Amino acid sequence: MSVSRHIGHLAKTLVSLALLAAPIVVSAEETFDHWPILPERFESTGGGGVMIEEYRPAIKGAICMTDFVAVLSDGRRFENTVDFSASFVQGGILCDQGRWRSRDGKDSGTTPLRVFIKDGVVRGKV
């Protein structure tokens, strides 16, 4: 056996042994229908006393979307829309990667909120 071939065989053996010795990490699949029910009014994920109202996500083609109102602590109201990517999982629709924008086009951003819709029940989690 040539030296280079011997080194290659030894390297493959060492990698195989390292993989066997490494701890096996198993991540449990998230159970979306155990998330809390998402009310139509809740505190913004951005905090600051901003309340989100009239939040009614619905599936429209390949997206999940809703219009909503952001209400500041002084009572000022701002109309917005959010679109999420929608994926079929666990017998329902997972809405994630949310992108919101103000209806006047002046503001936009993302949200860490994820929504799961199954059998007409809307659940949410940050």
**pLDDT band of 3, cuts 50, 70, 90:** very low
- Measured distance CA(100)–CA(111) in Å, rounded: 7
Q: How confident is the model over 68-116, as pLDDT tens digits? A: 999 999 999 999 999 999 999 999 999 999 999 999 999 999 999 999 9
Nearest 5°: the CA angle 62, 66, 69 is: 160
- Measured distance CA(102)–CA(106) in Å, rounded: 6
All structural domains of the chain with their residue ranges: 32-125
Q: How confident is the model over 33-46, as pLDDT tens digits? A: 999 999 999 999 99
- pLDDT at position 29 is 78
Question: CA 44: distance to chain centroid?
Answer: 15
Close Cβ partners of 18 (under 8 Å, ≥ 6 residues apart):
none
The share of the chain scoring above pLDDT 70, in percent, equals 78
